[in-house]
Amino acid sequence: MPQLDVNEHELSPSMTETSPSPAALPLDSQPLIDLAANPFTLFETWMKEAEKTEVNDPNAMVLATATRDGRPSARIVLLKGADHRGFVFYTNTHSRKGRELEENPHVALLFHWKSQRRQIRIEGAVTPVTPEEADAYFASRSRVSRLGAVASDQSRPLADRAVFEERLKQVEETYPQDPIPRPANWSGYRVNPEYFEFWQERRFRLHDRAVWARNGNDWDVTRLYP
């Protein structure tokens, strides 16, 4: 079974500018998933391809969390960072997902790019990003998004939309100019992957699937039946 060194961290595109997009190829014409690839590099390559063809938000991903006793929930969030350390998203830590992550750090991610006929599944445990990382990303958001993060009790019951809009107005009056401080309960999480599954569509549901599963400092790599 092929193995790859987890410490091979360098991410670089593996497709040239002249390579045809998978979306432009007949379903069975694109090459099979390369089992010799580094999963982080392969993820980056597929993301770059998706950025060329997805109508919007190629960085959208399903984030599945679960309670301590295993009751799952899922929602779409946006990927805001990816490198050899993992995959980063941001949220209100008092939200439902934040509360579930406090109880159970194990998550699953799913990227589905319809235009590319591809998907990637990632499983692992989260760790918080550093305060410096959270501050930097928060400062990069639009002013209204930052005001909204301060005003919102995310996932909590809201009796009337007008209550939130009034709170947003009050926050704007409190911070008429930047900077707007990041709320203590607004931060990010990094998913440290233990498992990747790359999937690409082929005709008659004879799909191409490959898995990278962490084994110490290596990856165990195998192809799966469709």
Known catalytic residues are 205
Task: Classify 204 in phi/psi space as left (phi over 0), alpha (psi -120 to 50) or beta.
Answer: left
Tokens at residue 66, please?
């679960």
C-alpha 56/C-alpha 184 separation (Å) is 30
CA distances from 106 to 53, 72, 79, 80, 172 (A): 31, 11, 17, 19, 36
Query: Which residues are registered as beta bridge partners of 198?
Result: 120, 210
